[in-house]
Chains A and B, each alone.
Chain A
């Protein structure tokens, strides 16, 4: 039981390049989330998916798109990376109401 996995662990992009961050969970959770973590700002919600087939914007969705591919997988895409998107990205999942979120190990992204 791996929990929440994220790939890649590290990535360096040039401004304007695109990439997709992958997230998968094996806990049969309904809800999945993408956060970014920046120094002094805690975690900010980018997008979430309350159930398979649905996605909604969080606090900071601009510059990102998401896909809930199936119940297990939730990907985050940067179409045209900008230096302001340099951050650590965390994926999380949650089962039933009343459960906490379970977090992946994070992806450290640098945009130059």
Chain B
């Protein structure tokens, strides 16, 4: 069965510190992979996506993610967190035909001044 696991429900980091949010997936074939961000009361905004090719992908707002096939992981990173990054982050996987997506349960990021 397909599933996405985000093991960290809440993370708190200090402004300026580095960030890594974990995502592991279980999927029969190589999926498409996504990270979305959701600010309170808002919809989801795409940060980045991986389809093929270079396993390190760059996204908006200074985020990057690395696809590791051997670990079935797609972790999100940012070298220096800003207060405006406080939000909830969702990892998602989808099949190549894109008809069903699976989302992780989300990680809420709190940024300390």
Contact = CB atoms under 8 A, between A and B. Distances in A.
Contacts of A33: 101
Contact of A50 (B36, B44, B51, B99): B99
Interface residues of A, number: 27
Interface string A90-104: 101010011111111
Interface stretch (B12-20, B65-73, B76-84, B103-111): B103-111
A48 B99 contact: yes
A98 B51 contact: yes
Classify chain B: how many residues form its interface, as a range.
20 to 34
A102 B43 CA distance: 9
Contacts of A106: 42-43
Interface in B83-113: 90, 92, 96-106
A101 B105 contact: no
B79 to A, nearest CB: 24
A63 B95 CA distance: 26
B101 A101 contact: yes
Interface of A: 4, 31, 33, 35, 40-45, 48, 50, 56, 58, 90, 92, 94, 97-106
